[in-house]
Chain A
Amino acid sequence: MEVNDNFIYTKEHEWASIEDNIVTVGISDYAQESLGDITFVELPAKDDEIDQFGDLASVESVKAASDIFSPMSGKIVEVNNDLEVEPGLINKSPYENGWIAKIEISDPEEASNLMTADEYRKFLESEG
């Protein structure tokens, strides 16, 4: 299971990549593997205000639906519309083409609530 060294992670298996005041969000390789083939993504609307660990999106696989939570608070500035036609991008490329949304960060301090890549790797091991 690949963990991208440059990102930080939530316990719900979302990743966050911070550049200046914008955070890009997606789900980890572990998450996409557990979900299986993703067939539908419900994206947030642009300009939506989102809380840290609040509802961001939902994804459906053939078998089940799952909620995706936001790693940080802020305002949605961009969503990955490619996922509407090709939800499987999340399976193929969870850390790049399968990104879900970009959020304008309201509180940079919140990043300290997330795990580093090393911490996330240990977390995955402890989860078994």
Chain B
Amino acid sequence: MIEKITLKKTPLYESHIALSAKMVDFGGWEMPVQYEGILAEYKYTREQATLFDISHMGEFIVEGDCVESGLDSLLTMSVSDMPIKSCRYGCMLNEDGGVIDDLIVFREDKDKWFLVVNSATTEKDKEHVKSRLSSKACFKDVSESTAKLDLQGPRSREILSSFVDDVSKLDYYTFDYFQLLGENVIISRTGYTGELGYEIYYPADKVKVLWNALLEDGKVKPAGLGARDVLRLEMGYSLYGHELGEDVSPLESGLSRFVDLNKNFIGKDVITRQKQEGLKRKIVGFVSSSRRSPRAEQKIYAEDKEIGVVTSGTFSPEMERGIGLGFVLTEHADRDNKILFGNENKREEAVVSSKLFYKRGSLKK
């Protein structure tokens, strides 16, 4: 007998079905991969504004002094110097320097922290964080009660301003509390698309009202995880489970600027040693010589020699070619190196490139 696994649903599941979304299993959640179509949703995000239901992601609140609570030692980035109402991206590592998760930390107050973690890793992260926090810390998992909507695109500021006073004051990677349809909520100027955008943390039991209100006049269209993946890949952003994992160090993934070696954190010894000895492999970007796209788990070759593996791939509307991210041996990681991707039977030529494939986004405008 086949055991049927029940997928988790966000509070907007019914709304996605009503919009005829194509639903897929994403890390145990039944999520919309597309509504109108991936390319149309991609284009609308790059040119107008779209709305993503990202309620599957996890959110924790930690209260306590960042060092005494043990929080600081969990994180690769420094947080003690974060201004209040700012956000910072980084990783949590295991003892071997592998990435348990990548996350964004919000500093709500001197001793109050809001952590946003990946959906499939929420339970694991919770155990890890709780086990490492000292008795002086107070931990709360608010994932269930917190829905998250991402409004992304060059027109997002103008559109959100008609709902929220002063949202235009937010700088990149900062947040504040705003009155939005009668709820006092966190809105941050963050995202995963490379466009100007906002992430709204809203009470799960009321998020349907916000979803409908934002989509009502047709200026904003819904977008699914399919478009989100193309958008993030064109920016070279890492996705946990692809470019990041427990057997991958943040240096190998190119996240060294989010690792502060002037502070202590779990896994630092291994990271320091890697930095001294040099890396055997690292993530590079590459561009296909045609519209044929690389796919995760395909192999990467230099002539006949296997030198790595594709971690993510897609067709890029910006480049009008296939693009990918993948691990290659360090000696093959230089820009403009010729590589191939594929399998034993079929390979396509590609060139190692910057991971930033999309260079004209509205992200910091």
Contact = CB atoms under 8 A, between A and B. Distances in A.
B315 A40 contact: yes
Interface string B38-64: 111000000000000000000000000
Contacts of A60: 291-293, 315
Interface stretch (A3-11, A62-70, A97-105): A62-70
B315 A62 contact: yes
A42 interface: yes
Given A37-B38, A40-B290, A62 B295 contact: no
Most buried by A among B34, B40, B291: B291
Chain A interface size range: 10 to 19
Chain B interface size range: 10 to 19
B34 A36 contact: yes
B315 A36 contact: no
B90 interface: no
Contacts of A24: none
A108 to B, nearest CB: 32
Contact of B230 (A62, A65, A87): A62
Nearest to A87: B291
A60 B295 CA distance: 10
Nearest to A41: B291
Interface string B305-344: 0000000001100000010000000000000000000000
A36 B38 contact: yes
A62 B226 contact: yes
Interface string A9-36: 0000000000000000000000000001
A93 B322 CA distance: 24
Contact of B38 (A40, A42, A63, A65): A63
Contacts of B290: 40
B39 A62 contact: yes
Given A62-B226, A65-B295, A39 B34 contact: no
A36 B37 contact: yes
Interface in A34-71: 36-37, 39-40, 42, 60-65
A40 B322 contact: yes
B292 A62 contact: no
A121 B34 CA distance: 25
Interface string B1-43: 0000000000000000000001000000000011001111000
Contacts of A61: 38
Given A62-B315, A63-B38, A36 B226 contact: yes
B37 A40 contact: no
A63 B322 CA distance: 11
Interface in B208-235: 226, 230
Given A62-B226, A63-B38, A63-B226, A40 B291 contact: yes
A92 to B, nearest CB: 11
Contacts of A39: 39, 291, 293, 315
Interface in A62-120: 62-65, 87
12 contacts: A36-B22, A36-B34, A37-B37, A39-B291, A40-B291, A40-B322, A60-B292, A60-B315, A62-B230, A62-B314, A62-B315, A63-B38
Given A36-B22, A39-B293, A60-B292, 8 more contacts: A39-B291, A40-B290, A40-B291, A40-B292, A40-B322, A60-B315, A62-B39, A62-B226
